[in-house]
Amino acid sequence: MKDFDHLLSVWQEQPKQPRLSVDDVLKQIKKGINILENKVLWGIISISIAIVFTVGLTLFAVFEQRLSYIGLFVMLAGMISYLVLQIGDYRTISRHDLTLNPGAYLNSLKEYQKRRAYLNGRFYYWFALMLCLGISLYTIEVFQNKPLIFKIIYYTVCAAYILFSIFYLKDRLIKREEKRVSYLIERLERLEGQFE
């Protein structure tokens, strides 16, 4: 019982968290949201450019083998799926005004966090597989007359880059984004708790 009383006294002596300034939190949240919106918007723009380029290649390039067209269609399917998810994420993060309804905004941030977890989780591997398969099928005809050493170097560099981005870059970028979103959610929940 003595230990319990000691624990209780230590717990009660813990300093209270200081109250947050609403203006400061709103500025931090708006800045963080702008960073996230810009990141997603640049993702939308870059994948749209890649889609336009791939569609142009599909329509205007003449290939002898059907595998090249199949490869381009596989890449397009992966890129269009990614674009649809990115647009959904952008709409989720930008559809509510923080100052009008912080509770709804907090819910939209949590929804955004779940959507990004899906995009950066299982979908990422599907997307990478679609691009690798599409590029492999497309380059069969493109590299048909190239020397074997060129093919080996090309496929080795591509495989190394894909493995590097999956096992190193992806994790770093995802952790940074998750940290930013979790911070924003924590600040909003803490601010909401002050007013209850």
* H or E, element range at 78: helix 66-94
Question: Do the beta carbons of residue 65 and residue 141 sit within 8 Å?
Answer: yes
What pLDDT was estimated at residue 74?
Answer: 94
Per-residue pLDDT reduced to its tens digit, 122-147: 888 888 889 888 988 888 888 888 89
Measured CA to CA, the distance from residue 193 to residue 43 in angstroms comes to: 34
Cα within 13 Å of Cα(14), Cβ side: 8
Taking phi first (over 0 means left), then psi (-120 to 50 degrees means alpha), and beta for anything else, what does residue 18 get? beta
Give the start-to-end residue ranges of the domains of the chain: 35-194
Output the DSSP codes for 90-123. Answer: HHHHHSS-TTT-HHHHHHHHHHHHHHHHHHHTHH
- In single-letter form, the type of residue at position 17 comes to Q
Other C-beta atoms closer than 10 Å to the C-beta of 26 total 17
Residue 189 has pLDDT above 80, yes or no: no
Per-residue pLDDT reduced to its tens digit, 64-111: 889 889 999 999 999 999 999 999 888 888 876 666 677 777 788 888
